[in-house]
A and B are shown apart, each in its own frame.
Chain A
């Protein structure tokens, strides 16, 4: 048999459970925005978003049930995203903003 034998159809209940979890996550996102958490508001919102995205990737996109090679390809995109963000941000935040035109424009 070829790889088609492992195309096991996931139960409908699993899809509905993930859908409900995503809906709860959406309600939580809006609810959390109404609570004063100071600087924590954004990390909390991002944590909920990452959790929701993980559920979509693992279950709706079937990565959980896929081959190791597909795990590498799915994780690869997010890994390179981390490199992109980390290197971009360390560059922007390690340079003196005082001398940039943007800050002069801000100060007036």
Chain B
């Protein structure tokens, strides 16, 4: 079998095709686990949103819609660049994989940079759940205790859901830093590029989570 000469072939697989299928399947099993992890957050969000609808609408209006929309565009663009990195890997174009990965990283860092400004603004406006919640800033004294308590729940969901999403992006950027030197050394070619393909699946998954987070957090009750 010609494949047995490929250094990327692990001894416990018959050929690279079988190795590719196993790696792809393992990644999808991991993504299934990730879907359920975020699914728990979305489930809790749904219950509380229906219980405290007015507070969730009120909280949603305090998020910066233009920054959220900008980040959606940035993340979808990064999905395109990582898809093109995988495509370059399928064709064995080392330099193209490297360039598209760098582009993906820049877009990912742009997203996190915008997220940093959004978070900083929430701290500035006393909208971060905790002892200081609504004790100052532009919204102090505007809400009664019950509404303030419910707003706290909305912002708890906001920070946990976007925070877990951002953590996944930080991990993704770390993975890219790990793969870049390997790409540069020519580890991946048209016969073997499983890690690049799996990284692409991971990054697309993170994009999908944001596709749901954006309307569910930033656009509750419309923007009339």
Contacts and interface: CB of A to CB of B under 8 A. Distances in A.
Contacts of A81: 35-36, 39
A3 B130 CA distance: 54
B24 A2 contact: no
Interface residues of B, number: 61
Given A15-B80, A23-B73, A45-B219, A56 B16 contact: no
A94 interface: no
A48 B215 contact: yes
B212 A73 contact: no
Main SS class of interface, A: helix
A55 B200 CA distance: 15
Contact of A49 (B24, B65, B212, B224): B212
Interface in B158-213: 190-191, 200-201, 204, 207-208, 211-212
B87 interface: yes
A48 B212 CA distance: 9
A60 B17 contact: no
B31 interface: yes
Interface residues of A, number: 55
Interface in A27-58: 29-30, 33-37, 41-42, 45-46, 48-49, 52-53, 56-57
B204 A60 contact: yes
Contacts of B91: 9
B15 to A, nearest CB: 5
Contact of A73 (B17, B29, B39, B46): B29
B92 to A, nearest CB: 10
Given A56-B208, A60-B83, A89-B47, A34 B224 contact: yes
A61 B201 contact: yes
A99 interface: no
B26 to A, nearest CB: 9
Interface of B: 3, 15-18, 20-21, 24-25, 28-29, 31-36, 39-40, 42-43, 46-47, 50-52, 65, 69, 72-73, 76-77, 79-80, 83-84, 87, 90-91, 145-146, 149-150, 190-191, 200-201, 204, 207-208, 211-212, 214-216, 219-224
Across the A-B interface, give the 6 residue pairs with the lowest CB-CB distance, nearest first: A2-B17, A77-B32, A3-B17, A73-B28, A45-B215, A77-B35
